[in-house]
Amino acid sequence: MITPSPPTLTKATGLLFALVGAATATANQIVDEHTRLATVLRELKAIERLVAADDFIKAPETARYHFDYVRLRMDIHRVSTGIKDYLSPKRASPRDAGALYGSYFDETVPHQ
C-alpha cells in the first residue's frame, strides 16, 4: 500500500475543507435568504397595520391628490403572498431533466 506523501495529504485535506466550506456557505445563504424574507413579511404586516389605521384618516376634500390606501393594501397582499409561496411552495419546483439519448446500442467495437 502506498502512503500519500504529506504534500498530497495536505492538498486532499485542503480540498475537503474547501468543499465542506462551500456546502456550508451555500446552506447559510439559503438560511439567510429565508431569514431575510421572513423579516420582510413581518415588516409588510406592520406596514399593513399602519395603512389600515391611516385608511380612516381622510384627506381634506380640498386636497389636490389623495393616497389610494386600497391599492396599497392590494399590492402589499400580492407581495406577501408571493413571498409566502416562495418560502413554502405547494409542490416541488419544476426542473430541467435534460435530454435523454434514448438509444443505448453501440455498434463500435471496443478497443482492446
Residue 109 backbone dihedrals phi, psi, to 5 degrees: -85, 130
Between CA 45 and CA 80 the distance in angstroms is 8
Give the max Cα distance, the chain: 94
Q: What is the pLDDT of residue 97?
A: 64
b/e per residue 30-44 (b: at least 16 CB within 10 A): eeeeeeeeeeeeeeb
pTM above 0.85, yes or no: no
Q: What is the pLDDT of residue 71?
A: 83
How would you write the pLDDT of the chain (112 residues) with one tens digit per residue? 555 555 665 666 665 566 666 656 565 666 788 999 999 999 999 988 888 876 666 667 777 777 777 888 888 888 999 999 888 877 766 666 666 555 555 566 656 5
Handedness of CA 91, 92, 96, 97 (dihedral sign): negative
